[in-house]
Structure 1
Amino acid sequence: MTERPDVFDKRYGEILLVTPGADGPEATVYNSFPLNDCPAELWNKLDAEAIAKDNGAVAALLNGPRYWLMSSIEKAATAQQEIKTFGGIDMIRQATVKLSSMSPAPYTVNRVDRKAVFTFDAGRPVFELVDPQGQRWVMQTYSQIVDPALTLASLPDLAERLDVPDGWRYETRTLTEPLSVDTTTQDAHVTQDNFSNSYSLQI
């Protein structure tokens, strides 16, 4: 396992290259972190249609800019990292996502093969969705896709802006002990809210 240094509130961007899969659409995920911070002047010029065509994908999804909310990421080491460059932004292949649809709706679940451990340190805030079954989903990244002005400081007050389904609620708390989401041996279950913030099921 390799561990990234403190990633809390660090900026990044992703490109998802979507292809047909046996069980529905799949996306190969390329992430700019830790190679760069997804420079705005390059990110804003990316052409999703051209990226899809150049890479033989049925679609390319521009997923960013985003900011990490965990403190550390441990990832299973691979023999060689695959790096692609999109519009001048170097990105590392990081995961495969089984999409619920070509355009997943908020509060639907996608499965992500990422083989990683996300650790949220004690003393730091976490922002969670609680579903009708009482399962807790911890926000792993916040997004500026829908609201370019969204920041870490605005997350505690996000509940009044979310369109959560019946039976769901949004909570924030400060951890008194570390919280880890370990998906090294199983797919992560990931959902997004209506601001494209991403949450992992705590398993």
Structure 2
Amino acid sequence: MFQGKVVGTAGFWSAATFVFSTAIAIGDFKWSLGAKALYVVTACLLVYGVVELSSLPFSMGRRLQAFGKMRLGGLMPLRVATKLAYQEARANKTLWAAAAERLAAEKTPDGILNYVGTYFGTHVPIYGARPPSDQLEEIPKNMASNGRMTGGASRLTYQDNANTEFVDLQVKAKDVRMVLKLMAEKVFADGSM
């Protein structure tokens, strides 16, 4: 529902940029009346874009802010992704938030993020660096889903002979969007829809 609104708002900003650059180009050719008309159209598009952006729900603002922090390559820190997913679940009063608070091994903020991070590891690929290396690599699915998250979903330890550990955990933005969509579903803590 709101995804279309975000895309529409982005479209208005893109259109305003295009019209403004066209106005500058026309102004260089000394057709001042046409350039002035395009400047007015640009201003109208910008005002409309600001109005649309301000009408987005508060949770969408958090989403946009988090996606703005993404690195090149479409990856975002797992800690940020889990915090965003938990906030989305709380904002929509879904079962996910209550489950994270009640079922987390540690009843602390980091414990809740660890719980949500385990959900990410079970359902989407996670990337991390295996110390002393700084190179990100995809963590094998069995390690990601059966490992132990610590540090607010910033470390993953797999109990094998080598006690394999991954740090600097990251997830793809498209996977974060998928998990956010799941956690935003209107299933309330009391089980009603």
Q: What's the TM-score bracket when you normalise by the shorter of the two chains?
A: under 0.3
Normalised to the residue count of structure 2, the TM-score between the two structures is: 0.27
Q: Decide which structure has greater strand share.
A: 1
Q: Which has the higher contact order (CA 8 A, sep 6+)?
A: 1
The structure having more radius of gyration, on CA atoms, is: 2
